[in-house]
Structure 1
Amino acid sequence: MDFTGQYELQSQENVELFMKALGVPDDMIEKIKDLKSVTKIVQNGKDFIVAIQTGNQVLVNNFTLGHETHVETPAGEKVKAVMNLEGENKLVVNTKIITSVAEFNGDQLTNTITYGDIVYKRISKKIKDPDAEEDHL
């Protein structure tokens, strides 16, 4: 399965609790919790670039399936992580403190992020990439 695409956030659960647990300041949580968020995934074989844009802020992480890398959390902390493919449609990222499972089902992306006993869930819908048309002109 090719995971490449842009996914716009439709709903989220436990965002405030999760961000507070990560140490994101309250004023920052208030600013970002209701902002439009788009996740862009570019896959090239086993290599991935995942960019999450929330408002004017962009968080970009690069992965190679099965290899350890450093990723940046929403709080700006760099942590070691490994991404693996489970089945045909799940990308699982494990860090020392967080597990993130991104499950792709048709045009829906469900990302379940677990930190201790806090479960943060994001549901996004695949959107048309405006840049894709320009690339083919």
Structure 2
Amino acid sequence: MQVRLEDAPTMNPNKQEITALITPVTAEFQDEARALASEGRETKALSRLRKASGPGLLEARAALAVLESGRTLPVDYPQALENLRSLAPDLTAEMTALLAVGDQTAAIKLLRDRTDIDLAGGYHLTQELAARQA
């Protein structure tokens, strides 16, 4: 299930929520975190999410809230990019403009400034956006 803006935890998602919704997590880790949370083992669920994708604690909490609401996180960067386009169309447009002039580094920096995505995630998401432009 793809996350759309209207499905976001709040109408104006914060940095942690956006980061959670643009950070891929395998279906296996999502299922495991969901099961742990349903057993009342939230700390272990957060730990699994952090291990799976490397987000900070706030991003992991936002990701767990998504999972507990019955929705899913992206499992790959194409899904993550679709979420980014839905959640932050202005950011996506700015990144696209930077990529159009060949400034991938600035596009990654902009993404990381506006979200809390890690460097590797920012690189891969920017690469996905660049590939879709070609």
Normalised by the length of structure 2, the TM-score is: 0.30
Normalised by the length of structure 1, the TM-score is: 0.29
Structure with bigger strand share is 1
Which gives a bigger RCO, structure 1 or 2 (Cα 8 Å, sep 6+)? 2
